[in-house]
């Protein structure tokens, strides 16, 4: 008896409450299709034909890259609605990721305002090098012009 029970359970799997976008999903639909009929999946103005295999008492639909938008879709044959299917975005994007507090140990804590200004001035002193490069570039350009005037 358990063998027949497992055959019955596995013959037509019940569908999940929702499916995740971007993952390979296989769904069994209670639909027997004629030779050239196909199942379409639609949502308002978006329609596509999933990969499908037709068997004696069911049709297996496979979803991989379609659909690309979440929502409730209608599986239909011609104009006859067979069932609805729901797709959601992956839930991993909603997981909380807390800040690692060990990163904060590398920060410098300043106790008074004078230290803050001294640190800011020290950090900005690196950017003053552009002034020296500009002065030397002007001096070298002046030297080049003088050399050209002298040897002309």
Helix (H, G, I), strand (E, B) or coil at 86: strand
Residues 6+ apart with CB under 8 A from 86: 17, 18, 19, 71, 72, 73
pLDDT at 5 over 70: yes
CATH (residue range 2-90): 2.60.40
Predicted TM-score (pTM) of this structure:
0.51
pLDDT tens digits for range 55-102? 777 888 888 877 878 888 888 888 888 888 888 877 776 677 777 777
Which pair of structure tokens corresponds to residue 111? Answer: 């106790």
Q: Check residue 18 and give its pLDDT.
A: 66
Compute the average pLDDT of residues 40-54: 83
C-alpha pair distances (Å), 122 with each of 112, 118, 127, 133, 135? 16, 6, 10, 19, 22
Q: Check residue 52 and give its pLDDT.
A: 81
């Amino acid at each position: 008896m358990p063998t027949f029970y497992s055959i019955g359970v596995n013959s037509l799997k019940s569908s999940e409450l929702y499916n995740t976008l971007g993952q390979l999903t296989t769904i069994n639909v209670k639909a027997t299709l004629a030779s050239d009929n196909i199942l379409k999946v639609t949502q308002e103005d978006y329609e596509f034909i999933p990969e499908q295999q037709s068997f004696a008492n069911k049709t297996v639909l496979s979803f991989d890259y379609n659909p690309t938008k979440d929502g409730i879709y209608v599986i239909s044959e011609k104009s006859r609605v067979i069932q609805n299917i729901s797709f959601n975005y992956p839930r991993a994007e909603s997981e909380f990721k807390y800040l690692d507090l060990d990163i904060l140990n590398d920060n410098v804590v300043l106790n008074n305002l004078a230290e803050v200004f001294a640190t800011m001035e020290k950090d900005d002193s690196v950017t003053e090098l552009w002034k020296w490069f500009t002065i030397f570039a002007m001096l070298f350009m002046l030297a080049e012009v003088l050399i050209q005037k002298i040897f002309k």
